[in-house]
C-alpha cells in the first residue's frame, strides 16, 4: 500500500481534446510504412492532505504525418491514504506514480474508450488505443 488509495476510484475530468484531421497526403499510401504512435504523460500538479492532483495527457499520431493527430488532456484527483501522511511530499508521489503505473488503470481505460469513440466517426480508421501507459519513444 502506498500514498495513493487505489481502492477509491479517482475523480476524472476532461480538460481538452484536440483532433486535427490531416487526410491522406497522396494516393500511394499503400506503399508506405505508417506507424501509429502513442505518447502518454502524467504531471503531478499538486497535493494536499486528502488528494493528489494530476494532469494526464495522451497523444495519438502517425508517422509520416497522415490521417489525424489527437491530444486528450484529463485532470485526475486521487484520494490519499492517511497512513502515510508523515512521508507525503511531491517527490514520493511522483516516484510512486512512475514505479506503479497500474495506479493509472482507471484513467487509461477512460482515455482509451474516449479515443475509440472519437475515431469511430471516421469510417476509414477507428483507433482503439491500449489501456496501458505508453512511454514516449
CATH code of residue 62: 3.10.420.10
User: Is residue 24 a part of any domain in this protein?
Assistant: yes
| Whether residue 94 has pLDDT greater than 70 | yes
11 vs 25, which has greater pLDDT?
11
Label residue 57 by pLDDT band (50, 70, 90).
very high
In this structure, what is the dihedral angle of CA atoms 24, 16, 133, 6, given to the nearest 10 degrees?
-160
Domain that holds residue 15: 11-120
The count of domains in the chain is 1
Sign of the Cα pseudo-torsion (43, 45, 49, 51, in order): negative
Label residue 25 by pLDDT band (50, 70, 90).
low
3-state secondary structure of 92: helix
pLDDT score for 85 = 81
User: Is residue 134 a part of any domain in this protein?
Assistant: no
User: Is residue 3 a part of any domain in this protein?
Assistant: no
User: Is residue 125 a part of any domain in this protein?
Assistant: no
Averaged over 5-28, what is the pLDDT? 88
Amino acid at each position: 500500500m502506498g500514498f495513493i488509495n487505489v481502492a477509491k476510484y479517482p475523480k476524472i475530468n476532461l480538460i481538452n481534446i484536440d483532433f486535427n484531421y490531416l487526410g491522406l497526403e497522396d494516393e500511394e499510401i499503400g506503399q508506405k510504412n505508417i506507424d501509429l504512435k502513442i505518447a502518454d504523460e502524467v504531471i503531478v500538479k499538486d497535493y494536499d492532505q486528502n488528494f493528489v492532483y494530476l494532469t494526464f495527457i495522451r497523444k495519438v499520431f502517425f508517422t509520416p504525418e497522415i490521417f489525424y493527430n489527437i491530444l486528450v488532456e484529463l485532470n485526475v484527483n486521487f484520494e490519499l491514504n492517511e497512513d502515510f501522511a508523515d512521508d507525503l511530499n511531491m517527490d514520493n508521489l511522483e516516484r510512486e506514480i512512475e514505479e506503479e503505473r497500474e495506479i493509472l488503470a482507471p484513467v487509461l481505460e477512460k482515455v482509451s474508450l474516449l479515443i475509440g469513440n472519437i475515431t469511430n466517426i471516421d469510417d476509414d480508421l477507428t483507433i482503439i488505443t491500449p489501456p496501458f501507459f505508453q512511454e514516449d519513444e
